């Protein structure tokens, strides 16, 4: 008998018919002799609908009240799923994150889970219940409802799996695993039966939508066995592994595209002002990528970084005010760009991989706004209308596949 945490996303529970299908899937797991904690998202589109209602009233609604509103969608789906399970003769109980006691910090809209109490979960499991938990939400030290940001239900599931020491955390979605590229971009995409933790974290952070990056990060810290499967075609899916032997790692795990990015380049910036900028972004809980710093230290630095369009809108006024007080500093800002990333150990260990990437970009004559390379990732920033075509051609080059 295993203890499994199964997470079902918005598409998987998008209608009452699909909720009943999810109930049947859970029951098959129980019939196989396993205990199940199900973590459920809101119905597809419901969170956007709720936030849209708030926008009609006040476009500057407080983050606290938006969290209270956004979390309502999960309450509906956990109740409906529990009802479907009970109708089939299987005892089930639905629990909000507050009832489970999922503790977070107070960063409304992007809260991070700090700990999960297990007493209520253990009690319900001992009583033979299938436990259905609302994903995406928690509570802070003052008892305020918080949400974990887009894709936060993945993180909820992983955190619960870590807390109860589940044998496996299964993320059910509308795709049957992790692919070398989005199959909608390239028909030659290949499903990976396994993927190393490091590569999965990189792919999740640069646009692969199968898993939320925070969930992968949390899984890595707690060594949670994480598997991605399809709700509609359950099979082996993709298992995230913690294999450390470089000889067992794939040279390239995948290619990902990310849209909606803003490029910020600052020139003649002092190191002190750069630190002020980073502190400002950290205080606003803004994540950055492709950060590069070069030039004459400490007063003639050129700095570039990338953040999402939505995060830029959140901090634009504060950053502009900071730059006004920076003597001689110049800046360049370009919104609505896209990032193409190649992930795998081959980026570092195989020089011909990077050479082939550069050769293709040169052949396509694509304007590159920024370029970075780490031990396991190569990323370029470009116009959004070009990124998917470039990704498909690059997949053909690196994986010898057809578009």
Residue 209 burial (CB < 10 Å; 0-12/13-18/19+)? middle
- The pLDDT of residue 401: 56
> How many whole angstroms separate alpha carbon 14 and alpha carbon 206?
26
DSSP states along 287-332: --EEEEEEEETTTEEEEEEEEEHHHHHHHHHHHHHHHHTSTT-EEE
According to DSSP, the β-strands at 330-343 and 377-382 are: antiparallel
Q: What is the pLDDT of residues 215-231, one digit of tens each?
A: 999 999 999 999 999 98
- The pLDDT of residue 324: 85
Does the pLDDT value for residue 402 go beyond 80?
no
> Could you give the domains of the chain?
3-249 (3.40.1160.10), 255-399 (3.30.2130.10)
Compute the average pLDDT of residues 62-66. 97
DSSP secondary structure code for residue 246 in this structure: G
Compute the average pLDDT of residues 331-348. 92
- The pLDDT of residue 246: 61
Does the pLDDT value for residue 233 go beyond 90?
no
User: For 118-176, what is the HEC assignment?
Assistant: CHHHHHHHHCCCEEEEECCEEECCCCCEEECCCCHHHHHHHHHHHHHCCCEEEEEECCC
Where would I find the H helices in 186-343? 197-205, 213-222, 271-283, 309-324
Compute the average pLDDT of residues 181-191. 92
Compute the average pLDDT of residues 173-190. 92
Do residues 290 and 378 make contact, with C-beta atoms less than 8 angstroms apart? no
Give the whole-number percent of the chain exceeding pLDDT 70.
Answer: 98
Does the pLDDT value for residue 290 go beyond 70?
yes
Residue 245: pLDDT band with limits 50, 70, 90 = low
Does the pLDDT value for residue 288 go beyond 80?
yes
Does the pLDDT value for residue 403 go beyond 70?
no
Does the pLDDT value for residue 54 go beyond 80?
yes
Does the pLDDT value for residue 306 go beyond 80?
yes
Does the pLDDT value for residue 275 go beyond 70?
yes
Residue 247: pLDDT band with limits 50, 70, 90 = low
Name 192's bridge partners.
Answer: 178
278 C-beta neighbours (distance < 10 Å), count: 15
Point out the least confidently predicted range of 54-63, 68-77, 119-128, 327-336: 327-336
Indicate the pTM of the whole model: 0.90
State the number of CA atoms in the 13 A half-sphere of 238 facing the CB: 21
**Residue 50 parent element (H or E):** helix 46-57
Does the pLDDT value for residue 382 go beyond 60?
yes
- The pLDDT of residue 350: 80
DSSP states along 53-117: HHHHH-TT--HHHHHHHHTHHHHHHHHHHHHHHHHTT--EEEE-HHHHTEEE-S-TTS--EEEE-
Instruction: Using the Cα atoms of residue 281, residue 103, residue 34 and residue 14 in order, give the sign of their dihedral.
Output: negative
Compute the average pLDDT of residues 33-54. 97
- 380 or 272: which leads in pLDDT: 380
């Amino acid at each position: 008998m295993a203890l499994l945490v199964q997470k079902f996303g918005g598409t998987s529970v998008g209608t009452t018919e699909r909720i009943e299908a999810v109930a049947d899937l859970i029951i098959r797991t129980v019939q196989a002799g396993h205990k199940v904690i199900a973590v459920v998202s809101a119905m597809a589109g419901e969170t956007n609908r709720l936030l849209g209602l708030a926008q009609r009233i006040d476009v500057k609604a407080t983050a606290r009240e938006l969290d209270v509103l956004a979390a309502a969608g999960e309450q509906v789906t956990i109740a409906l799923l529990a009802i479907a399970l009970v109708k089939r003769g299987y005892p089930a109980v639905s629990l909000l994150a507050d009832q489970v006691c999922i503790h977070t910090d107070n960063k409304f809209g992007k809260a991070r889970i700090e700990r999960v109490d297990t007493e209520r979960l253990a009690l319900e499991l001992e009583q033979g219940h299938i436990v259905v938990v609302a994903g995406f939400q928690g509570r802070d030290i003052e008892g305020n409802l918080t949400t974990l940001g887009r894709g936060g239900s993945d993180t909820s599931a992983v955190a619960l799996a870590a807390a109860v020491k589940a044998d496996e955390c299964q993320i059910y979605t509308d795709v049957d695993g992790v692919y070398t590229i989005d199959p909608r971009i390239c028909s030659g995409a290949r499903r990976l039966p396994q993927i190393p933790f490091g590569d999965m974290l990189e792919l999740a952070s640069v646009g692969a939508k199968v898993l939320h990056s925070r969930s992968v990060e949390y899984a890595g810290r707690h060594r949670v066995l994480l598997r991605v499967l399809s709700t509609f075609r359950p099979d082996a899916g993709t298992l995230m592994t913690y294999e450390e032997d470089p000889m067992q790692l794939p040279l390239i795990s995948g290619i990902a595209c990310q849209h909606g990015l803003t490029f910020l380049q600052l020139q003649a910036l002092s190191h002190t002002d750069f630190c002020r900028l980073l502190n400002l972004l950290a205080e606003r809980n803004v994540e950055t990528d492709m950060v590069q710093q070069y030039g004459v230290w400490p007063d003639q630095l050129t700095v570039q970084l990338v953040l999402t369009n939505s995060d830029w809108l959140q901090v634009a006024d504060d950053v502009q005010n900071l730059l006004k007080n920076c003597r001689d500093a110049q800046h360049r800002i370009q919104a609505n760009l896209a990032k193409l990333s190649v992930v795998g150990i081959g980026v570092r260990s195989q020089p011909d991989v990077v050479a082939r990437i550069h050769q293709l970009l040169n052949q396509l004559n694509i304007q590159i706004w920024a370029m970075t390379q780490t031990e396991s990732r190569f990323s370029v920033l470009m116009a959004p209308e070009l990124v998917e075509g470039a990704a498909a051609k690059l997949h053909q080059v690196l994986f010898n596949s057809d578009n």
